[in-house]
Amino acid sequence: MNGLRVYINPVNTDARDNHSVFYSRRGDGPYYLWRYEEGIRQWLFSRVTPSNDSTLKALCVASWKTVPIALQVRLKEHYLE
């Protein structure tokens, strides 16, 4: 996917969490927060508002290999070309 970047927040990640929260952004578009909802077994997203600027500054680029397959599928659906 052209221009797509996936991020994690290393400050909020621990051994139990194992990256259950990711952020995404394509080009200069908005940031989205992706979290896995265990009850419905699905990745849900919400748009991140600019007021969360301190969170966005802490983000680090995630390796595509660390992104769960189910989230990769959702990202491809979300960012249709």
pTM: 0.85
Q: Give residue-wise pLDDT tens across range 26-61.
A: 999 999 999 999 999 999 999 998 775 677 888 999
Number of domains making up the chain: 1
What gap in Å lies between CA 36 and CA 45, rounded to an integer? 9
C-alpha separations of 21 from 32, 35, 68, 81 in Å: 10, 5, 11, 24
Mean pLDDT value across the chain: 87
64 pLDDT more than 70: yes
What's the domain range around 18? 4-78
- From CA 4, how far away is CA 28, in angstroms rounded? 10
**CA count, 13 A, side-chain hemisphere, 2:** 2
By three-state DSSP, how is residue 44 classified? Answer: strand
Tell me what pLDDT residue 47 has. 94
